[in-house]
Amino acid sequence: MPLVRIDLRRGKSAAYKKAISDGVYQALREIFAVPENDRFMVVTDRADEDFIYEPKYLGIAHGPDFVILQIAVTNTRTVEQKQALYARIVELLGKNPGIRPQDVMINLIDVGKENWSFGNGIAQYV
């Protein structure tokens, strides 16, 4: 059920973008027990003028490989599970495609089960 939006600067290869989506999906499967084939992701390349972020926020220095992940999920996870997800995503993206932990911003959006329709105009989880 997660819906993942991946925003990054234009110019990265298809393999780089796939590595990000694969890493996020693996972390969601491991930590949030997302079922196989429950993969819905949008990857958006942004021109420099359309990808605006602070190079230093909260004492964290963001570099040119900065990526923003926004993940919508049902509101059934604990704070500990969310923290574990953030850590696992950063770990996996550090391995492949090699993104520094400081360059991964994650925004998790909790929504009720009634807020999902996967087609046919039906709220399948209600």
Catalytic residue at 35? no
Please give the Cα distance from 48 to 22 (Å, whole number): 25
Distance from the Cα of residue 84 to its chain's centroid: 14
Q: Which of 2, 35, 55, 101 is catalytic?
A: 2
What count of Cα atoms within 13 Å lies in the side-chain half-sphere of residue 77? 23
Beta pairing class for 56-57 and 60-61: antiparallel
Active site residues: 2
